[in-house]
């Protein structure tokens, strides 16, 4: 059954915080925190003033179906039309804000949009507090929720996911054969890993650790999906939109010499350059109908993170009048960097061979405000946390030149951020 809560009217007030918001994560109460953090900037929220979560589409639905995005946009527009907003700050992320996570496939459950009761934000040297109530002139009870320090995770047991590494390597080999036979050009295959704690996992602990270790990434928490993604699906401010494509990966070296060797190997790899080019072409084709202007560099640059380095391309666009951030999210998902090429063929193959439901993994995650400003990432380097269980995900782009052992090693590198964040000490 579709779950949607939208009071007849919401009263939204944003005020500046003159004392700042030094540690956004430390202000979050325990429970189901909402977060989007990068560098010193970010948004955190808690409580539910309004929320939406749809049913999964029935089996057999086209894998590129966008119903969940159009329904979310309709619900959000209804919320905003009935919102009375008093915004004393006027920056992206102020006023009415909804956090969201969308499933990778339309036939999965888990897509969610939430307008929090309380939101704290920071951008540069400015910080703010937003409260959302059903009546004017009152404070939400959630404003006074206690915020004890994040709890350690404690001892963990680790279990193989739906496929062992060896079984998944066999799936990679079979997929390479299908690519070489001309069935498709690329498929992004993922595997999972399960961690179990002795008690409920405090998501704030993961947020704090991930944000400290990967400040360049976008650390997020929405409806149980938590991670630190390097991949920005889109940022919209006014009519200007930017997007970052990552495809092609190497680990970081143990020293400067090895790091440079791996970087040069990545930049000169025909396999990785091909994989990256397919992802860039996918982005260009998706954005072109929505944009009055579109600029995409001809050659990728190198993006170095703490654990891996990627081929990266940043695109810029000016959207056509009337195109919303969620319109762009629907058009861009799934990119070739997380699905494959051709898109529908790759997604059908993923559903056939991965042996698992990705849920929100590799789906869009982020936020949008009432003025249309937004930041949405792709839920990578992530896990779904449910009580004492965390299910981790990692994937790789498979093309004709892929080798199973190398792809298994790449997934181990991509598990590492969340695996380390779950580990105390």
DSSP 241-282: EEEEEEEEEEEPPSSHHHHHHHHHHHHT-HHHHHHHHHHHHH
Mean pLDDT of 2-21: 82
- The 10 Å Cβ neighbour count of residue 347 is 22
For tokens 């084709």, what's the residue? 285
Residues annotated as part of the active site:
186, 231
On the question of pLDDT at 306 being above 70, the answer is yes
Distance CA 228, CA 25 (A): 14
Beta strands in 34-125 (DSSP E): 34-38, 41-46, 50-53, 83-87, 97-101, 112-115, 118-123
Structure tokens at 408: 């298994």
pTM exceeds 0.85 for this model: yes
Structure tokens at 88: 């004393």
For tokens 């002139």, what's the residue? 137
Q: What does the pLDDT read at residue 268?
A: 93
Strand, helix or coil for residue 76: helix
- The 10 Å Cβ neighbour count of residue 229 is 24
Structure tokens at 108: 């999965």
On the question of pLDDT at 1 being above 70, the answer is no
Nearest to 379 by CA among 388, 397, 369, 392: 392
Q: How much is the mean pLDDT over the chain?
A: 94
Q: Higher pLDDT residue, 249 or 227?
A: 227
Q: What does the pLDDT read at residue 18?
A: 83
Question: How does strand 225-229 pair with strand 382-386?
Answer: antiparallel
Mean pLDDT of 376-385: 97
Distance CA 318, CA 163 (A): 43
DSSP 303: E
Q: How many CA atoms lie within 13 A of 321 on its CB side?
A: 0
Could you give phi then psi for residue 300, rounded to 5 degrees?
-75, 160
> What is the CATH T-level fold of the domain 3-143+156-422, as seen in this structure?
Anthranilate synthase (3.60.120)
Confidence band for 248, pLDDT divided at 50, 70 and 90: confident
Map out the domains of the chain as residue ranges: 3-143+156-422
> Residue 338, exposed/middle/buried by CB under 10 A (0-12, 13-18, 19+)?
buried
Strand, helix or coil for residue 64: coil
- Describe the crossing of helices 404-422 and 165-180 by its angle, rounded to 10 degrees: 140
Listed range (5-9, 57-61, 279-283, 349-353) with the worst mean pLDDT: 5-9
Nearest to 84 by CA among 95, 69, 93, 73: 95
Strand partners, 43: 36, 121
Distance CA 137, CA 423 (A): 44
Nearest to 51 by CA among 108, 102, 116: 116
Distance CA 417, CA 214 (A): 8
Q: What does the pLDDT read at residue 245?
A: 87
In angstroms, the Cα distances linking 1 to 52, 54, 57, 322, 324 are: 11, 7, 11, 31, 27
On the question of pLDDT at 20 being above 70, the answer is no
In angstroms, the Cα distances linking 356 to 42, 242, 350, 420 are: 32, 32, 9, 23
> Residue 394, exposed/middle/buried by CB under 10 A (0-12, 13-18, 19+)?
buried
């Amino acid at each position: 059954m579709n779950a949607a809560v939208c009071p007849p009217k919401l009263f939204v007030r944003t005020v500046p915080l003159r004392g700042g918001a030094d540690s956004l994560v430390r202000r979050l109460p325990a429970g189901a925190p909402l977060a989007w953090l990068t560098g010193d900037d970010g948004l955190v929220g808690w409580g539910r003033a309004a929320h939406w979560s749809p049913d999964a589409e029935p089996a057999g639905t086209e894998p590129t179906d966008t119903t969940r995005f159009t329904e979310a946009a309709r619900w959000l527009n209804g919320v905003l039309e009935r919102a009375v907003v008093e915004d004393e700050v006027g920056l992206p992320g102020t006023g009415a804000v909804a956090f969201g996570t969308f499933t990778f496939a339309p036939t999965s459950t888990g897509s969610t949009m939430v307008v929090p009761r309380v939101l704290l934000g920071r951008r540069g040297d400015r910080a703010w507090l937003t409260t959302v109530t059903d009546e004017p002139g009152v404070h939400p009870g959630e404003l006074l929720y206690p915020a004890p320090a994040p709890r350690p995770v404690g001892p963990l047991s680790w279990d193989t996911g739906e496929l062992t590494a060896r079984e998944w390597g066999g799936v990679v080999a079979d997929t390479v054969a299908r690519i070489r036979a001309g069935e498709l050009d690329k498929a992004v295959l993922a595997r999972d890993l399960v961690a179990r704690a002795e008690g409920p996992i405090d998501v704030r602990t993961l947020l704090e650790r991930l944000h400290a270790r990967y400040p360049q990434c976008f650390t997020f928490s929405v409806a149980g999906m938590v991670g630190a993604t390097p991949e920005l699906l889109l940022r919209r401010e006014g009519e200007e939109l930017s997007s970052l494509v990552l495809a092609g990966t190497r680990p970081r070296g143990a020293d400067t010499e090895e790091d440079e060797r791996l970087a040069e190997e990545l930049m000169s790899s025909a396999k990785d350059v091909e994989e990256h080019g397919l992802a860039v072409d996918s982005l260009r084709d998706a954005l072109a109908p929505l944009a009055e202007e579109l600029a995409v560099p001809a050659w990728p640059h190198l993006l170095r993170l703490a654990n891996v380095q990627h081929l990266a391309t940043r695109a810029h666009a000016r959207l056509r009048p009337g195109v919303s951030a969620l319109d762009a999210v629907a058009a861009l998902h799934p990119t070739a960097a997380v699905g494959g090429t051709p898109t529908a063929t790759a997604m059908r193959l993923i559903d056939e061979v991965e042996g698992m439901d990705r849920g929100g993994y590799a789906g869009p995650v982020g936020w949008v405000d009432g003025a249309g400003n937004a930041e949405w990432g792709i839920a990578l380097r992530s896990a779904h946390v449910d009580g004492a269980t965390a299910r981790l995900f990692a994937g790789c782009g498979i093309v004709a030149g892929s080798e199973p052992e190398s792809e298994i090693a790449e997934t181990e590198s991509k598990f590492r951020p969340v695996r380390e964040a779950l580990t105390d000490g």
